[in-house]
Amino acid sequence: MARLVLSECCGLAPLRLRAGRGAIAAPSPPAALSLSAAALPRGRPAPAAIHRDWALRVSAPTRLTSVVEEAAPLGEEAAAEGGVFDPGAPPPFGLAEIRAAIPKHCWVKDPWRSMSYVLRDVLVVLGLAAAAARLDSWLVWPLYWAAQGTMFWALFVLGHDCGHGSFSNNPKLNSVVGHILHSSILVPYHGWRISHRTHHQNHGHVEKDESWHPLPERLYKSLDFMTQKLRFTMPFPLLAFPLYLFARSPGKSGSHFNPSSPLFQPNEKKDIITSTASWLAMVGVLAGLTFVMGPIQMLKLYAVPYFVFVAWLDMVTYLHHHGHEDKLPWYRGKTEAAKPVLGKYYKEPKKSGPLPVHLFGVLAESLKQDHYVSDTGDVVYYQTDKKTNTSAQNSD
């Protein structure tokens, strides 16, 4: 299951590849359709038979030609044999090789260092709020909203690490800190943690994935026109997270607040009740502050930054599943230690200035083209509904 580890530990995710029905057919990063002996580790046979069988069960992507045209040959022998990059084939490396390449100190959890990040970010959040309230200038508020919304996102990331158990080796510490951080930004900690675990266990699977999973064609075409437009028209996809917490994604039932939701196991009910109670407590705190400070002030201090945070979260998670600029895997951060193992699969993210404004263009392009996947096939690709894609209609 190299795909899962690369996504979680190295931040790698396929941009257009999604697993099909019945199995996670492409849980791992792309590999070569045709590998020569020179492209494989010494002593390892070329898995041609596996790739042929794989290819027979792949649903044809709408832009497969562009994938082939843009793909780089996998070495001189592969180029001579006409081999090209196939984003649906199994990779030539495994989980054990990736783990072995990561330095041991990267696996060490330091709770004191983790808590220092919490203290730092909480102080920044409180400082920004105090400064904005004191200045109370319309020249300052937009800057505050952008900065504080980003800091709310930082609090979410720390809670995310608590949910993964990477914050510390102490489950109780992870739970307490995770509840405080996530409840402060109206996220039910255990509810989200469990659904996020489901996401990582089924990353890339059409039916079983939990976050921004692609819609099968039959489900997509069963949605009313307005629902389709809202899902793929800016800025509505950037406001989806609160709705997802209450009602999940199209085609799925349940809620992150309901202990009887199909998201959870019977033995997890107490966790969900605890998180929902913590969430309600935060709602009560916000209601009290609104009564004391007034609705306009709370709108400026909390509500607007909250929706900036939601936009950040939705953009990052959406692009993690839909990144449009390339058909290859991409990374968040540095993974230098894994370079020897990943080889041609190692790819640096696109460089940006202080603000990653280029992501808005990537997001807009993906929303225009990545609508649904085929109902059949073990490896499927996003396809475009030209009825809702003006640019596609004009190009016809």
Residue ranges in the chain modelled with pLDDT below 70: 1-83, 85-88, 321-336, 344-349, 388-396
H-helix segments, 323-357: 339-342
In a domain, 316, yes or no: yes
pLDDT value, residue 56: 31
How far apart, in whole angstroms, are the C-alpha atoms of residue 106 and residue 216? 38
Domain span at residue 280 reads 95-321
- In the Cβ-directed half-sphere of 103, how many Cα atoms lie within 13 Å? 6
In a domain, 106, yes or no: yes
How far apart, in whole angstroms, are the C-alpha atoms of residue 50 and residue 351? 37
* Sign, Cα dihedral of 251, 255, 260, 264: positive
In a domain, 137, yes or no: yes
- The tens digit of pLDDT for each residue in 65-96 reads 333 333 333 433 343 345 676 666 777 888 78
Yes or no: say if 143 and 80 are a contact pair by the CB < 8 Å rule: no
Q: 72 Cβ partners below 8 Å, 6+ apart?
A: 85, 344
Q: What are phi and psi of 133, to 5 degrees?
A: -65, -35
pLDDT value, residue 302: 98
pLDDT value, residue 336: 66
In a domain, 377, yes or no: no
Q: For residue 195, give the nearest of 251, 255, 278 by alpha carbon.
A: 255
pLDDT value, residue 235: 87
How many domains does the chain contain in total?
1
pLDDT value, residue 83: 61
* Tokens describing residue 251: 């085609």
Q: What are phi and psi of 18, to 5 degrees?
A: -140, 140
In a domain, 329, yes or no: no
pLDDT value, residue 290: 97
pLDDT value, residue 338: 72
pLDDT value, residue 228: 81
Question: Would you call the peptide bond into 188 cis, given omega within 30 degrees of 0 as the criterion?
Answer: no
In a domain, 85, yes or no: no
- pTM exceeding the 0.85 threshold for the entire prediction: no
- In the Cβ-directed half-sphere of 137, how many Cα atoms lie within 13 Å? 5
H-helix segments, the chain: 2-5, 48-56, 64-70, 76-80, 95-101, 111-135, 141-164, 171-184, 189-201, 217-222, 225-232, 241-247, 269-293, 295-298, 304-322, 339-342, 358-369, 390-395
pLDDT value, residue 28: 36
Considering only the C-alpha atoms of the chain, give the largest distance between any 2 of them, rounded to a whole number of Å: 74
In a domain, 355, yes or no: no
- The tens digit of pLDDT for each residue in 15-24 reads 333 344 333 3
Q: At what angle do helices 358-369 and 304-322 cross, to 10 degrees?
A: 60
Yes or no: say if 87 and 16 are a contact pair by the CB < 8 Å rule: yes
